[in-house]
Amino acid sequence: MLHCHASTIFGLIHKITPLHQLLATGGGARSSVWLKILADVLQTELIAPRAEEGPAYGATILAMVGIGAYLNLETAFKILTQVGDVVQPPENPMYESAFQKYKRLYEALKAVR
């Protein structure tokens, strides 16, 4: 399941902008273990705000960038007044290897459907 989330996030965001950090919201943002694993798999810094707005908060920030209210995500992230946990991605070849296997399997199985 984690690789499915990671693949979706990775695929969508990398089409929009280079990925250096992500804002984590919702239930998963309350789990330090989940944040560490996700940061590791994505090799991206994750920021979990102290506010509990949930997933709509992240969607709103993306929408504001999309309509031009903010130039880019870096500018939009400056509106965050209270940053909670910041999780740095450690180097972990185990996750990278598993993620690459997942992507190969996913592509192979798409043809079967």
Tens digit of each residue's pLDDT (9 = 90 or more) over 3-32: 556 666 666 665 666 677 777 877 777 888
Site of tokens 């979990």: 48
- How far apart CA 109 and CA 76 sit, in angstroms, is 37
Structure tokens that stand for 43 in this block: 């090799």
Contact 18, 43 (CB under 8 A): no
Bridge partners of 111, per DSSP, are none
Task: Supply the pLDDT for residue 67.
Answer: 95
Per residue in 48-95, pLDDT (tens digit) is: 877 666 667 778 888 988 999 988 888 887 776 556 788 888 777 777
